[in-house]
Structure 1
Amino acid sequence: MADDFGQDLIAFLPNLRRFAISLCKSRDVADDLVQETCEKALANRGGYQPGTRMDAWLFRIMRNAWIDRTRRQRTEGVKTDIDDAHFLVGQDGAAVTEARITLDETARAIAALPDDQREVLMLVSVEALSYKEAADILEVPIGTVMSRLARARKKIIDGAGIDGSAGRSADKKGFAQ
């Protein structure tokens, strides 16, 4: 009986392929669908009742497989072969982790600054005000702003373990370039 099942399945392959092409409108996808149908039919051969129409049983398996496939494709979205996706760039995990640690250390160092140094740092480095504008807001001389900013930067560099000499030069507002 098992031999008859296999022979009947092989004899019915051209009909399955025609039906698959009508469903898929693509010969490559149709071939995959025929293969999937055959695999399911062989795996579930116990579900076929001899004496009934094998073609109807196989067509039902194929149609259900096609419906499952189209539902899956709707929820999966667009597929891209990884070899064709060279435009995708991953992140360097070590660099991201190191940057987060440095950022956390820097935030702790800023939080530990005295209020007068933190105020100057925020006005000049974060709000991008000039030394003169910061001096006017704080009602202190420009030299005091420059001094507090220099001390704040030094404490941050020391507190966060940042190497401040790595080929950086400061612009006229004191930003590292």
Structure 2
Amino acid sequence: MEYQCEKKIAIFESHMNTINQLSFSLDGKCLASASNDQQIKLWKIELSEQQKISKGHQKCVSQVAFSKDGLIFASGSYDKSIILWDLIDKNLIIMLQEHTSFVKYLSFSFCSKWLASGGCDASICLWDVKFPHEATLFYKIQEIYLIPDELQFSPQGCFTTISNDDREQNKNQNDEEKKLQVTKIQV
């Protein structure tokens, strides 16, 4: 099967450094970008315009993720923090700090009540974000066997999947071999 691009929708230019990650809102109307320029850019796709957003992080922004209900999005940074943002007014809601190294991954549950964060400190945090202004740490897994490469919730919302390409520790093994760790968290 061959696919062709029908038309170019837009070219967004604004970051002054490397873009680390992109995330689309569930409805496909917004695109967020995280960059080494310490900024998050939020774009309205159909209008090809950038939305104003406050500056929040003090170092490179590594991750962005939208909640499934479309009300908030989260950003993670090399400054070890996670910020929850209001998608309506584009303001900072709350800054969450628990990781001791940079935030590598973020994932919202399908019900938008939970946010999982993975850091290079070999920990995973599960945040209760049902009421974003009162977001709290619900559970922390420390010193996990594998530093996360990916965090995902199952559609039922009770599993966080952590995968890791463990090539550095297993240099004699096949380059394609990967390990997978699945953790069940009852919530």
Shorter-chain-normalised TM-score: which range?
A: under 0.3
- TM-score after normalising by structure 2: 0.23
- TM-score after normalising by structure 1: 0.23
The structure with higher relative contact order (CA 8 Å, sep 6+) is: 1
User: Which has more helix, going by share of residues?
Assistant: 1
Mark the structure with the bigger radius of gyration.
1
User: Which has more strand, going by share of residues?
Assistant: 2
